[in-house]
Copies of this chain bind each other. A is one copy, B any other.
Amino acid sequence: MSDQKPLYRTAISLAGAEDILVRGYSLIDLVGNVNLGTMVSLLIKGELPSRAEGEMIEAILVACAEHGVRPPSIQAARQVASGGVQFQACVAAGVLALGDSHGGAIEQCMQVLQEAAAGIKSGEKNAEEVAVEVLSAVRSARRRLPGFGHPVHKIDPRTVRLFQLAEEYGIKGLHCDLAEELTKRSKVILGRALPLNVDGAVAALLSDMGFDWQVGKGFFILGRTFGIVAHVYEEITRERPMAHLPPYELLVYDGPESRPVSITSKSAK
């Protein structure tokens, strides 16, 4: 190391000729000994998690992996693939769509839960008080509570499944309790019961495993990329270029009718 100011510093890994050190562990030792759920926890938090946490993360990523062909991520990936584009760039287009409105509820819900939990941890408030505070703020601001509510289900079956696994793995903690408290009190404060949806369940579980809300979107990206890769492969091997131009019947042009070009020279040189 010279005395120059570093251009890059990282605590994640160091790649040498003989091996790659990941958070202090040899990559060779990790291969075959840890699953991807364990790997991602190590990469992000810097320490090997328990086997239970690795399994829980695998389950979460499987739950996020696929949701049919309609979401913007899959639409974007397949449209780009239909332009005759390299595999990785089609996948990247799909990833780009995972913005605030597409999987964004995970990180938003994590932030709500983590800020609320901080109040409980500091001993200032109990779960009930915190839940009332959060819901009252939602009511006054007339906004949605991210991670809660579902157009169809009273109880989201993916939430049920993930919480059942979390029970088995001993993962559930303060943030899951708080999420359930919020559902319980939403009926009274908001006038309708808000079930925890799958985004909210993932948010509560990631929070209970100690992940910062700022990396919440990363988990959704990791999971959904599995589905995106499959859709890109299907598009490339099964469809012709430009396969998905929407039919004219589904388009509306509501701009001006045909008119002649004429430019005023107002004050131009």
Contacts and interface: CB of A to CB of B under 8 A. Distances in A.
Given A43-B226, A43-B229, 15 more contacts: A6-B251, A10-B255, A25-B259, A28-B157, A30-B62, A32-B165, A40-B230, A48-B262, A52-B265, A72-B245, A75-B246, A84-B102, A169-B267, A170-B266, A218-B230
Interface string A1-33: 110111111111111011111111111111111
Nearest to A98: B88
- Majority DSSP secondary structure for residues of A touching B: mixed
A180 interface: no
Interface residues of A, number: 145
Nearest to A233: B215
B36 A36 contact: yes
A30 to B, nearest CB: 6
A211 to B, nearest CB: 10
A4 B49 CA distance: 42
A14 to B, nearest CB: 4
A51 B250 contact: no
Interface of A: 1-2, 4-15, 17-40, 43-44, 46, 48-52, 54-55, 58-59, 61-63, 65-73, 75-76, 78-80, 82-93, 95-102, 104, 107, 152-153, 157-158, 161-162, 164-165, 168-170, 212, 214-215, 217-218, 221-222, 225-227, 229-234, 236-237, 241-242, 244-247, 249-269
